[in-house]
């Protein structure tokens, strides 16, 4: 089978931003031919139709994600396709012939290829009417939105950075439906109206002259204690510094390279402020099977009935992906997806 294969193994030595800048994909990936993988016990083999590219994929390919690379294996964490084979195990056999949205587990192989292997438990049989563009990104961002929003108490507000992201768009509607007021931070004017339409209570543009005053007013009025932050640079440090007592700075991404310093260590003591991390992988490990199924069901329903949608900015055929990736990823407002020959 053909796939975009990792040219390097292990982790990179230098820590850098986890953003989606990807100027030289050819340094990290090559289009190659490898034998189609075989599913082991509890695993399924999926014939790929489409794969989504997330910031975590780019970070992984560069060797700066919390999981070592395996040289020669295809990259890519999520996608959609049809189960064509299964190893020993009842659930895998049940999935045979079904369309699934799935996450590629480290013991399997990546989704930027014609076929991928993963644990059957992380392949979700698709409900009728779900579009492939939504199903290709069914897990990473949607599940993160649901899991992180659980930290926010109903009736309260929370701060959310990089809000024009796919995750931010999902979060805006979900928060509104749960009676939680999203204070969305963006860095451009274009997404402001869109996020308000989706359900954000406030949208503040960091490049506005009055941004800091406006943010201070909103923080004073709403008194949010949760800051869900994918940027984690100097501006995030300032935001947390402006928040009140017990403010929790929850870092779940690192899109900015500038230092995310603690500006007032005394506030960690006397205002009981906290800095912590969030990783959906940890959430999945500690959440019960029943609860996960509930979340997966809710995620599919939201896409099916149109409360959520996936904006796609570019669709790249597998064999053109390496050369077209830098330009495609530089486009704002939407996901880049890799499509297979019959996808
Ligand atoms: N910890 C976890 O388990 C977990 C799970 C899922 C996602 N994530 C993280 O969530 C974040 C969003 O993911 P996504 O797939 O929704 O992203 P996405 O759709 O690819 O969008 C990325 C967004 O980041 C913004 N951005 C990039 N660099 C920035 C910077 N230096 N300062 C401020 N904003 C910046 C972009 O703003 P513009 O629109 O203005 O270009 C864009 O809106 C990523 O950091 C990802 O790694 C973490």
**Residue whose CA is at the smallest distance from ligand 1 atom 23:** 165
- Cβ-in-10-Å burial (0-12, 13-18, 19+) of 277 comes to exposed
* H/E stretch holding 205: strand 202-205
How far apart are the CA of 294 and the centre of ligand 1, in A?
A: 25
Q: Is 229 helix (H, G, I), strand (E, B) or coil?
A: strand
Q: Compute the distance between CA of residue 39 and CA of residue 92 in angstroms, rounded to an integer.
A: 9
- pLDDT-based confidence at 342, cuts 50/70/90? low
How far apart are the CA of 162 and the centre of ligand 1, in A?
A: 6
Regarding the beta carbon of 234 and ligand 1, being less than 6 Å apart is answered no
How far apart are the CA of 161 and the centre of ligand 1, in A?
A: 9
Sign, Cα dihedral of 296, 301, 303, 304:
positive
Regarding the beta carbon of 111 and ligand 1, being less than 6 Å apart is answered no
Query: Which architecture does CATH list for 144-281?
Result: 3-Layer(aba) Sandwich (3.40)
The answer to whether the CB of 248 falls within 8 A of the CB of 226 is yes
Q: Compute the distance between CA of residue 18 and CA of residue 64 in angstroms, rounded to an integer.
A: 7
Number of H helices, E strands in the chain: 12, 15
* H/E stretch holding 330: helix 321-330
- 183: nearest Cα among 142, 237, 208, 220: 220
Q: Compute the distance between CA of residue 120 and CA of residue 39 in angstroms, rounded to an integer.
A: 10
Q: Is 64 helix (H, G, I), strand (E, B) or coil?
A: coil
**Residue whose CA is at the smallest distance from ligand 1 atom 45:** 253
Residue 173 pLDDT: 97
The domain segmentation of the chain, as residue ranges, is: 2-137+310-339, 144-281
148, pLDDT greater than 70: yes
Give the residue-averaged pLDDT of 159-163.
98
| pLDDT tens digits, 278-314 | 999 899 889 998 999 999 999 999 999 999 999 999 9
How far apart are the CA of 242 and the centre of ligand 1, in A?
A: 22
Regarding the beta carbon of 19 and ligand 1, being less than 6 Å apart is answered yes
- Give, for ligand 1, the residue of 186, 251, 255 to mutate: max count of ligand atoms closer than 8 Å to Cβ: 255
Average pLDDT, the chain: 95
Residue 126 pLDDT: 96
* Residue 29 CB neighbour total at 10 angstroms: 23
Give the residue ranges of DSSP H helices in 35-106.
55-62, 90-95
The dihedrals phi and psi of 84, each to the nearest 5 degrees, come to -110, -10
How far apart are the CA of 103 and the centre of ligand 1, in A?
A: 19
Which residues, in sequence order, are bridge partners of residue 78? 52, 103
Residue 54 pLDDT: 95
Q: Give the chain's length.
A: 343
Regarding the beta carbon of 260 and ligand 1, being less than 6 Å apart is answered no
Residue 75 pLDDT: 98
Residue 343 pLDDT: 42
Q: Compute the distance between CA of residue 50 and CA of residue 11 in angstroms, rounded to an integer.
A: 27
Torsion of Cα atoms, 326 then 329 then 330 then 334, to 10°: 160
Regarding the beta carbon of 144 and ligand 1, being less than 6 Å apart is answered yes
The answer to whether the CB of 338 falls within 8 A of the CB of 316 is yes
Regarding the beta carbon of 56 and ligand 1, being less than 6 Å apart is answered yes
The dihedrals phi and psi of 55, each to the nearest 5 degrees, come to -55, -35
Q: Do the domains at 2-137+310-339 and 144-281 have one common CATH topology?
A: no
Give the residue-averaged pLDDT of 66-76.
95
**Ligand 1 atom nearest to 333, measured from its CA:** 39
pTM for this model (two decimals): 0.95
Regarding the beta carbon of 205 and ligand 1, being less than 6 Å apart is answered no
**Ligand 1 atom nearest to 278, measured from its CA:** 1
How far apart are the CA of 212 and the centre of ligand 1, in A?
A: 22
The answer to whether the CB of 336 falls within 8 A of the CB of 21 is no
* Residue 299 CB neighbour total at 10 angstroms: 24
* CATH code for the domain defined by 2-137+310-339: 3.90.180.10
Q: Compute the distance between CA of residue 54 and CA of residue 266 in angstroms, rounded to an integer.
A: 36
- Tokens 């975590």 correspond to 56
Residue 302 pLDDT: 97
């Amino acid at each position: 089978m053909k796939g975009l294969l990792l040219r390097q193994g292990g982790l990179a030595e230098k820590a850098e931003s986890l953003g989606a800048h990807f100027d030289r994909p050819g340094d990290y990936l090559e289009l190659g031919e490898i034998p189609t993988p075989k599913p082991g016990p509890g695993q399924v083999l999926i014939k790929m139709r489409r794969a989504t590219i997330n910031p975590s994929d780019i970070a992984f390919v560069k060797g700066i994600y919390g999981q070592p690379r395996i040289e020669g294996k295809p990259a890519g964490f999520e996608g959609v396709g049809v189960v064509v084979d299964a190893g020993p195990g009842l659930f895998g056999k049940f999935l045979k012939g079904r369309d699934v949205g799935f996450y590629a587990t480290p013991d399997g192989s990546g989704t930027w290829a014609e076929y991928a292997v993963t644990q059957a438990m992380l392949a979700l049989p698709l409900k009728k009417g779900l579009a492939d563009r939504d199903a290709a990104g069914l897990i990473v961002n949607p599940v993160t939105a649901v899991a992180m929003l659980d930290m926010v108490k109903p009736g309260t507000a929370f701060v959310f950075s990089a809000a024009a992201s796919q995750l931010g768009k999902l979060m805006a509607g979900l928060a509104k439906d749960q009676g939680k007021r999203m204070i969305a931070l963006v860095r451009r004017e274009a997404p402001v109206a869109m996020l308000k339409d989706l359900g954000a209570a406030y949208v503040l543009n960091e490049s506005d002259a009055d941004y800091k005053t406006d943010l201070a007013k909103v923080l004073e009025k709403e008194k949010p204690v949760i800051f869900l932050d994918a940027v984690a640079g100097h501006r995030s440090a300032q935001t947390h510094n402006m928040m009140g007592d017990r403010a929790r700075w929850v870092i779940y991404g690192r899109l900015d390279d500038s230092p995310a310093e603690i500006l007032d260590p005394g506030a960690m003591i006397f205002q009981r402020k906290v800095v912590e991390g969030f990783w959906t992988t940890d959430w999945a490990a500690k959440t019960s099977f029943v609860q996960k199924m509930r979340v997966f069901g809710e995620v599919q329903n939201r896409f099916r009935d149109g409360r959520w949608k996936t904006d796609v900015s570019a669709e790249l055929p597998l064999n053109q992906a390496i050369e077209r990736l830098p330009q495609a990823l530089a486009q704002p407002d939407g996901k880049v997806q890799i499509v297979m020959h019959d996808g």
